[in-house]
Structure 1
């Protein structure tokens, strides 16, 4: 005997509501989409060259900072909330001005330029010559519900001509009391700067 269509629709709605319980338990702080944000978030480097400062060198003596590769959840402008290893939502109304990998690359470049005093270039500017190259993968850049903290995790790779490749994982986190666009954005900016400073110190070694 077949089920009545109305009964089938009711069962489907109950299943959908049940599957969204973990998302709703965050108290409305996250969203899977919706209206445009009131503001766009960005990253600023704590350590940056002074206004008017200049650096001159050959490309072989410069540092080339590449845009990190990312996993799928970071290949967009929304801020992920990691609910579990298999569930991800997004902070409501939190939207980056550019993709996180590009913003993080900017913080890395500014920090390296300020702390090393060397010329820092984008890969696009270098042509066929290569100096020290800093690349890597941005693995986490968002809020972890289990930790109650924002997390930045970056696998850095340094390649120097004629030297062995070096790789190291860097991570920083900061607990926050509210999960909203302003709070999460500011905490991620501070955390990204701590990771960038650690990478700059390590890469100079």
Structure 2
């Protein structure tokens, strides 16, 4: 019993340390508007799968906090808005799910690519936060798609903006989720048409 109590105390202290001494009342995440149904296996011939890699992110997004782009040279962070993990992996999973649903293709993440990477989708998540001047969230994703070793690379920029009523976590989180789904839909259409 003492061991369990001690273990629980250590876990609570470790969690508190992750968030600067106080745990957030809620954590934000991204959810796809469309999801694949369970028990629907898919197969892909050699080279037909698509691998979605976690996007690279600038330093401002290497955190679980939500950036507020005050102006071109100043970034702050939204109070009481904390992601469950950095936005790069969250966006990659939402992107992979959306591509799988909309294109019907087998989608692998970067940890599975050794099976058969096929087409590789990489990119940079340039912006992923609140623009307080326009009172809208903004997501900018620079995508790069490579098919095998001889077909070269194709790039494209995708952007979505969704208005918000106020600069609070409660207003910004669903708007970011909506914008992320819009960008994922744009990317899926691009991948599916290529």
Q: TM-score range by the shorter chain?
A: 0.7 to 0.9
| C-alpha distance in structure 2 between counterparts of 1:165 and 1:128, whole Å | 21
Specify the alignment match of 1:111 in structure 2.
Answer: 98
Q: CA RMSD in A?
A: 1.5
**Stretches of structure 2 lacking an aligned partner (at least 5 in a row):** 1-19
Higher Cα radius of gyration: 1
Choose from 156, 161, 164 the match for 2:143: 156
> In the alignment, does 2:187 pair up with 1:191?
no
TM-score between the two structures when normalised by the length of structure 1: 0.80
Moved more, 132-141 or 120-129: 120-129
May I ask how many residue pairs the two structures share in their alignment?
173
| C-alpha distance in structure 2 between counterparts of 1:34 and 1:100, whole Å | 22
**Stretches of structure 1 lacking an aligned partner (at least 5 in a row):** 1-32
| C-alpha distance in structure 2 between counterparts of 1:131 and 1:181, whole Å | 38
Choose from 163, 173, 181 the match for 1:175: 163
Choose from 60, 66, 72 the match for 1:79: 66
3-state SS in 2 of match to 1:192: helix
The structure-2 alpha-carbon separation of the partners of 1:59 and 1:122, relative to structure 1 and needing over 3 Å to count, comes to farther
Specify the alignment match of 2:31 in structure 1.
Answer: 44
| C-alpha distance in structure 2 between counterparts of 1:128 and 1:67, whole Å | 17
Runs of 4+ in 1 over 2 A off after TM superposition: 33-36
The structure-2 alpha-carbon separation of the partners of 1:118 and 1:89, relative to structure 1 and needing over 3 Å to count, comes to same
Spell out the pairing of 1:59-70 with structure 2 (5 A cutoff).
Answer: 60-70=47-57
3-state SS in 1 of match to 2:40: coil
